[in-house]
Structure 1
Amino acid sequence: MKETVAVFGTLRFPPESMDAVRPHLKTFVDATRNLDGCLAYDVAEDMFDPGLIRFSELWPDNGSLDTHLVAPHIVPWREAAKRLGLLERAFTAYDIHGSRPV
């Protein structure tokens, strides 16, 4: 069965920083979506928890994810996030095999 990697994560910023975070996040997400191998990369602000951003990612394999983690746009995003008050970061990758509609 074909290897696939799903990543779920969150970042937390001070709610008052979100207006400044959004343009940097958009640049980062656009660059990530253009990477070879990125199957899906979705980001959303939590409607009920201001300052919380949720991520879901889908990669064809661990190699593609590893390439993403050292891509040139990662460092500028991480530096901007730190400068804008990043409070918390939590991401977990899961190896999945196959899928089915639910």
Structure 2
Amino acid sequence: MIIVMGHAKLGAGEIDRLGAEMEAQITATRAEDGCLAYGFARDVLDPDTLIITERWRDNAAITAHFASPHMATFNAVLAKANVLEVSVKAYENGEERVLMGG
């Protein structure tokens, strides 16, 4: 399993402006083969920062995701957005254990 974590700092109002595009990206990505989880959330302490969380079955699934038409569309949207900072990293994880809840 591959875990992807990251953040993106956007200019004031950009997250609200891009809401429909982010929703479309999340919906399409969650339907991909090999996508176990995919989401964006606002940082509670900085509402102009998105927290990015993803879980993928394997590297082949991530490669297919980056080659998908909806990813190309979303990257074109981001290229025109006021993105101030972005950092996204992948972590390979051989085991999963519950820390809270189910």
Same-fold call, TM > 0.5? yes
RMSD: 1.1
Select 1:16's aligned residue among 13, 36, 40: 13
2:29 match: 32
Counterpart secondary structure, 1:39: strand
1:26-65 alignment, distance < 5 Å: 26-65=23-62
The AA in structure 1 aligned to 2:52 is F
Cα deviation for residue 18 of structure 1 reads 2.1
Deviations 1:1-45 (A, max 9, x none): xxx100001112112222211111111111100101101112101
Q: TM-score, normalised by structure 1?
A: 0.90
What are structure 2's unaligned runs of at least 5 residues?
A: none
Pairwise CA distance, 1:77: 0.7
Whole-Å separation in 1 of the counterparts to 2:65 and 2:28: 10
- What is the SS of the residue equivalent to 2:83? coil
2:69 partner SS? coil
User: Alignment length, in residue pairs?
Assistant: 99
Aligned residues of 1:38 and 1:59 also touching (Cα < 8 A): yes
Q: Which aligned segments of 4 or more residues in structure 1 are displaced greater than 3 angstroms?
A: none
State the identity as a percent: 28
Q: Say whether the 8 Å CA contact 1:20–1:84 is kept in structure 2.
A: no
Gaps of 5+ in 1: none
